[in-house]
Amino acid sequence: MQENFIVGENRYKQKIMLNPHDLVGKGILQDGLYDKTGLYFIEKILAKLQAPVVFDIGANIGNHALRMTEKSKKVYLFEPQAKIAAHLRTTMSLNHITNWHICNYGLSDEEQSLTLYQNLDSNNGETSFVANLKGKNFVIEEAAVFVGDDIVHQYALDHLDFIKIDVEGFEAKVIAGLKHSIMKFRPIIFMEWDKEVTKEQFQDYELFETVFSDYIIKAITRNPNEMSLAQKIRGTIRQLFQKNRGKRRKIIGEFNRENDYRHIVLIPREKAHILAGL
């Protein structure tokens, strides 16, 4: 896959360094956004929080962070790929952003140097610290990872309100390294749930029983704005024959550990009201 980065622009007139040949870059160039459902959810949640401090773990080119910046006090972007971190700095400069802090390293439950695999067969520039997700054609890069709780302490944070995690099978280790901060600050967490290694390690680390024992977990379903025309037509036809057709389609659904989801949200019980209306 080619990696000639250019300056693009999203639908909010924010400039962003992107690869026009991968899935994220194409989405921004063609639709103005990539991952409309995820961005819709994040914007709605952040709007209900007061001056939130946000961790974007696995920031990639900043597609999500650009939308977070307008509704956050501070956004810490964790991106272990050196070249992508450099592009993030350019994006930050192009938009005169003052509330980003770019961290050119990953987070884990142990401080060390790890091999980062970039899957060249993937159309979205997928990278992972998990060797069995590297694909047949890949390139490697050594990258530093640090314990999340140590980073929270290093920056003397007195609150952490929202965490977005996109780390391709490394989610459990990220959360294990942040467990004390999560239990102290009780942030809302937005992440993927579609890798067997993630499910296995959540069980190995007993994260549901410890860190998330009093969290509510919900699946995030597809936003109507992200559906194809055919899907929208079918949905409209169904609604015509439903008694409650006047109700707006919600994007929050029930979570089953055995299923795969593009996104899930883990939210403290005392903050569950924030999901109202979504």
Q: Evaluate if residue 21 carries a pLDDT over 80.
A: yes
Confidence of residue 118 (pLDDT cuts 50, 70, 90): confident
Region for residue 85 given its phi and psi (left: phi exceeds 0; alpha: psi -120 to 50; beta: otherwise): alpha
- The token duo for 80 is 């272990």
- pLDDT given at position 154: 98
Mean pLDDT of the chain, nearest integer: 89
What whole-number distance in Å separates Cα of residue 230 and Cα of residue 270?
39
Mean pLDDT, residues 18-34 taken together: 94
Q: Where are the beta strands (DSSP E) in the chain?
A: 6-9, 15-18, 53-57, 74-78, 100-103, 106-108, 112-119, 127-128, 138-147, 162-165, 188-193, 215-220, 252-254, 261-268
Confidence of residue 133 (pLDDT cuts 50, 70, 90): low
Query: Any residues with CB less than 8 A from the CB of 259 and at least 6 apart, and which?
Result: 193, 219
* Residue 118 exposure: Cα atoms within 13 Å on the Cβ side: 19
**Rg (Cα) of the chain, in Å, rounded?**
19
Q: Evaluate if residue 225 carries a pLDDT over 70.
A: no
In tens, the pLDDT along 138-154 reads: 888 999 999 999 999 99
Is the model's pTM score more than 0.95?
A: no
Confidence of residue 131 (pLDDT cuts 50, 70, 90): confident
Q: How far are the Cα atoms of 80, 234, 238 from residue 100, in angstroms, in the given order? A: 16, 41, 44
**122-131, 137-146, 148-157, 209-218: range with lowest mean pLDDT:** 122-131
**CA 157: distance to chain centroid?**
21
CATH superfamily for 6-275 is Vaccinia Virus protein VP39 (3.40.50.150)
Q: Evaluate if residue 123 carries a pLDDT over 80.
A: no
- pLDDT given at position 226: 47
Q: Evaluate if residue 244 carries a pLDDT over 70.
A: no
What whole-number distance in Å separates Cα of residue 135 and Cα of residue 180?
34
Q: Which helix (H) or strand (E) holds 176?
A: helix 171-177
Mean pLDDT, residues 16-45 taken together: 94
What whole-number distance in Å separates Cα of residue 129 and Cα of residue 135?
12
Helix (H, G, I), strand (E, B), or coil: what is residue 246? Answer: coil
